[in-house]
Amino acid sequence: MAHDDRQVAGADTSVENILGDAPSASESETLGGESNPEVLPTHEPWRTIVHGIGVIEQVIGALLLAVILVLVVALVAQRYLPGVNFPQTGEVARLAMVWGTFLMAGYLMAHDRHIAIHVVDYVLDGRPLAAVKLAVNLFVLVTCLVLVYATYLLVAGDIGQVTAAAEIPLQVVNAIPIAGFALTALRALLWIAMHDVPAVLRRPETA
């Protein structure tokens, strides 16, 4: 009986060793839920408007993912169905992927979920770290504004061209990223005004 207890204890220990790197409850929430709160204005009605934009971005992103899934499945099915060929399928799937990338950039920026290298977080702290984040968000803001202007010039100078297969006007194709750049610039501005600048100007705490 004692031998069996030791076996159970050993099994428990081995299970603990195996699951030693399992995420805690807080880590699970971080991986599965909205761990990073959305950056929003403090005053109404702007707070509700910006949050509503975020909800619309989620809906559009989900719809575009569904479109990509359906079209890719249809593209594969065409390989096994004789006489069935829709060249528009691949083109629209590629455009949906590009549009989704641009349109979801602002949502990811709002939740601080864009791709980033956080090495500096382990080196700096306090006001220096806040200054680095301020510089990064300023760079994002300026870059997005430049891209909005450049894309606007591209759309304004359109000569009526269409895509090769689906014959979608290039003016429409190139206009959609403008919304993504503008919304990303808006979120960068909110991060700067509501988090970065106050963190830089905040007086260091004294022990």
Q: What are the residue ranges spanned by the domains of the chain?
A: 41-201
**How much is the pTM?**
0.76
Position 205 confidence tier, pLDDT thresholds 50, 70, 90: low
Q: Which amino acid is at 96?
A: A
Instruction: Please write the tens of the pLDDT for every residue from 176-201.
Output: 999 999 999 999 999 999 999 998 98
CA distances from 187 to 39, 64, 107 (A): 7, 22, 8
Task: Tell me 157's DSSP state.
Answer: T
CA distances from 20 to 7, 11, 26 (A): 19, 14, 15
Instruction: Please write the tens of the pLDDT for every residue from 97-115.
Output: 999 999 999 999 999 887 7
Does position 22 have pLDDT exceeding 50, yes or no?
A: no
Instruction: Please write the tens of the pLDDT for every residue from 75-94.
Output: 999 888 887 788 889 999 99
Our measurement of the distance from residue 3's CA atom to the centroid of its chain's CA atoms, rounded to an integer in Å, reads 54
φ, ψ for residue 124 (rounded to 5)?
A: -110, 165
Task: Tell me 206's DSSP state.
Answer: P
- Measure the N-to-C terminal CA separation of the chain; round to a whole number of Å: 58
DSSP string, 85-131: --THHHHHHHHHHHHHHHHTHHHHHHTT-S---GGGGGT--SHHHHH
Judge whether 106 and 57 are in contact, CB under 8 Å: yes
